[in-house]
Chains A and B, each alone.
Chain A
Amino acid sequence: MTSVTDLYQAVILDHNRAPRGEGVVGDATNCAEGFNPICGDRINLTIKLNDAQITNVGFTAQSCALCRASASVLAQTIHATSLEQAIEMGHAFQAMLTGGEWNYGGDAAVFAAIKRYPARAKCVALPWRTLVTALTSGRVIDSSLDRNSATHPVVSTEDSKRG
């Protein structure tokens, strides 16, 4: 495996080319927006929870390939899991980027290679950080309110390189 295919593995390129779960869940119960001001990556997650089970996940991303592929893997991985397990996965995925274990199966483990390229870890982590915010910050969308006025928590990575 060359270093290029180590970072941009075929699975990652495939998720980037044909992302799973791209779009907006119209009847979402939880949502959050993630933004990385350094590179301009922006992701919007909409999730439908039904009785503490994730029944639908959608994302839109204006981002690099790694961030988009990570969001696609996320949508695929957390679909039909419980709220509790999805939050656990959100944390475990971020831990994996610095060497932690990933024990939840699916395609997510391909991103373990990112630990060798720390400059790109933020791109890959963004969807998962946004997921944790969407599911834990209590920003549950009240369907009786106008959707446009719902408060979307924003995840921002303000702490890296300056410019």
Chain B
Amino acid sequence: MTKFAPNGNLDVSALKAVFPVLERPVRGQRLVYLDSGATALKPLRVIEAIDRYYRFSSANIHRAVHFLSEEATSLYEAARSGTKTFLNASDEREIVFTSGTTAGINLVAKSFVAPRLKPGDEILITAMEHHANIVPWQMLRDQYGCKLVIAPILDDGSLDFDAFSALIGPKTRFISCVWTSNATGIVNPVKKIVGAAKAAGVPILIDAAQTVAHEPIDVQSLGCDFLVFSGHKLFGPTGVGVLYGRYQHLEEMPPMIGGGDMIKSVTFEKTVYAEPPARFEAGTPDIAAVLGLAEAIKFVTEDVGFAAIKKHEQKILEAADAALKDITGLKIVGTAAPKAPIFSMILSNIHPHDVGSILDLSGVAVRTGHHCAQPLMARFGVPATARASFSIYNDEADVAALVKALWKTREMFA
């Protein structure tokens, strides 16, 4: 039982009240925010933590003995400890604060994978990756002459697991795989995927950007080598993310960015790098954002709770799925289960940008475009879709508003 789920069910109207953006009318109407897949809204608890840091604890970390600096340092390291617990990592030193998912993947690509590559080696990803989990590997391919291998997906949008397993071979040096597709919402069988990688002795990174707000993550039970996510998809601030890495891997990795706070000693002849995670956190980090992320984790785990989140989102998923199926000419891209509450939609021959504009003019905010997943769009033969992504502050009324606006779109183009 939590503050926002006193009887095990989410109290959505109480939740709506702690997300100030929802109070703002958009285009003269109640805002129906269905773009949490792009970024989740921020609750007061997070906003206040950021405000509190700048108002009362503003100081740099790991540097001075004065009161405010010590306080800021201890808050920052407490955030690391909270994140470790959140992911059930075995050691706080396995938590690296980054600027986001993209930065985490790039760090692993350049500092862990690149030094191990030999010509002809293969990096395995899937056809459902976000550009953030494609481009860094292409950059390695072009620089080191390795091969980027793409595991196919099936027509329902799910990973072709048999093909994926069969593509893991003696030349596979690394696997990087998304947990939940941002474009379709399809949730990969990540335990099986990590199991296949482990069986072949290949290290694996899991991109949990789109998972982290929807289900609990236990990196030890999962057994992955690396896992990344962004704070802003978890109701936290932008500009902060987390790289979880097994300590033995982090220890082997050279830093990608050099500077202050990542060293043990510096002379003009030689620098000795700090141990992880400091080694990967050069320069003054976004301290306020890290504290905001820590608060977001507390908000989700203490105030809301994943059990209630999953139950609520499953209910919304089913309600939206049923209502959308009734709309003539509406096609959902990616229909496999299990799914996060994300719907990538094509409405007859109406261009997604027209759909997005008419929805916006009805107060309904959705994402339109290729969702940073152009290869996935190409796989389904569409340039773009309109994507509605639901979160803890959405209810059946929001589903109804979406459906009504989609019907209105149809009528306009009839």
Contacts and interface: CB of A to CB of B under 8 A. Distances in A.
A120 interface: yes
Contacts of B369: 38-39, 161, 163
A63 B384 CA distance: 11
A64 B362 contact: no
Contacts of B383: 39-40
A39 B357 contact: no
Contacts of A119: 357
B394 interface: no
Interface in A5-58: 6-8, 13, 16, 38-40
B370 A163 contact: yes
B203 to A, nearest CB: 28
Contacts of B315: none
Interface string A43-79: 0000000000000000000011110000000000000
A8 B412 contact: yes
Chain B interface size, as a band, is 20 to 34
B372 A63 contact: no
B154 interface: no
A145 interface: no
Interface centre among B350, B352, B412 (most CB of A within 10 A): B412
B50 to A, nearest CB: 25
Interface in B392-414: 408, 412-413
A109 B133 CA distance: 44
A118 B351 CA distance: 18
A120 B374 CA distance: 21
Contact of A163 (B350, B358, B374, B413): B374
Interface string B334-365: 00000000000000001111100110011000
Contact of B371 (A13, A123, A163): A163
Contacts of A39: 351-353, 368-369, 383-384
A4 B29 CA distance: 12
A66 B412 CA distance: 13
Contact of A64 (B354, B370, B374, B408): B354
A13 B413 contact: yes
A106 B93 CA distance: 68
Interface centre among A6, A38, A39 (most CB of B within 10 A): A39
B358 A120 contact: no
A66 B356 CA distance: 12
Contact of B361 (A4, A16, A65, A163): A4
B361 A7 contact: yes
Contacts of A65: 350-351, 354, 413
A3 B361 contact: yes
Nearest to B28: A3
B346 to A, nearest CB: 13
Given A3-B28, A40-B384, A63 B351 contact: yes
B372 A163 contact: yes
B412 to A, nearest CB: 6
B110 interface: no
Interface of B: 27-28, 131, 350-354, 357-358, 361-362, 368-372, 374, 383-384, 408, 412-413
Given A6-B361, A13-B412, A163-B369, 13 more contacts: A3-B361, A4-B358, A4-B361, A4-B412, A7-B357, A8-B358, A38-B369, A39-B352, A64-B353, A66-B353, A117-B357, A119-B357, A163-B371
